[in-house]
Amino acid sequence: TALLVRPGLAVHGARSMRLAWRPGRTRRGLAYADVAGIRVVSVHLGLSEAERAGHLVRLGHLVRSSATGGVVVAGDLNEEPGGPTRRALERYLRDATAAVGPTFPTRRPHRRLDAVLVTAGLRVSGARRVQDERTRVASDHLPVVVDVALP
């Protein structure tokens, strides 16, 4: 889990943290920073509903405690739209990638596990799924790109 930031943008308070973990499961985490006045969080949530519920505690705190001009949460949520984790997040955030289509698996995507969620005050000018030969070999998930206007 990482954040990539365009050169020249002001970045403050960059941190990463491990999320709640259960023995026998892959350790998950998140990274976050305040970038040009927006709290940006990159996540990779757990496979099970119980894991994701535990992850929501930390993630929810980051979203609610932000004193910035908006919040963006992006990553592999490991849950399709309408699931309990997404419903909880969508109390505070809207899905900017609702129309991009499925992202998993890369060869024949049929599940939308990846998303970019933003606070209502942020202006999104575009969202797309990137699907080409490079993205098919880079990961088992297709990347999504969202254009967000800076405050």
The domain that holds 69 is classified in CATH as 3.60.10.10
Closest CA to 49 of 20, 90, 16: 20
Higher pLDDT, 119 or 23: 119
Tally of structural domains, the chain: 1
Task: Measure Cα distances from 104 to 77, 117, 118, 129, 143 in Å.
Answer: 11, 18, 21, 11, 10
Q: Cβ–Cβ contacts within 10 Å for residue 7, how many?
A: 4
pLDDT at 6 > cutoff 90: no
39 within some domain: yes
At 62 the pLDDT is 85
86 within some domain: yes
Place of tokens 């949520």: 77
Q: pTM of the entire structure? A: 0.92
At 67 the pLDDT is 66
**Structural domain for 20, as ranges:** 11-148
What is the C-alpha to C-alpha distance for residues 74 and 59, in angstroms, rounded to an integer?
A: 11
What is the C-alpha to C-alpha distance for residues 116 and 99, in angstroms, rounded to an integer?
A: 11
Closest CA to 70 of 119, 3, 13: 119
Closest CA to 89 of 123, 112, 58, 122: 58
76 within some domain: yes
83 within some domain: yes
Q: What is the mean pLDDT of residues 59-71?
A: 83
139 within some domain: yes
pLDDT at 20 > cutoff 80: no
Q: Beta strand 71-76 with 94-95: parallel, antiparallel or unpaired?
A: unpaired
128 within some domain: yes
91 within some domain: yes
1 within some domain: no
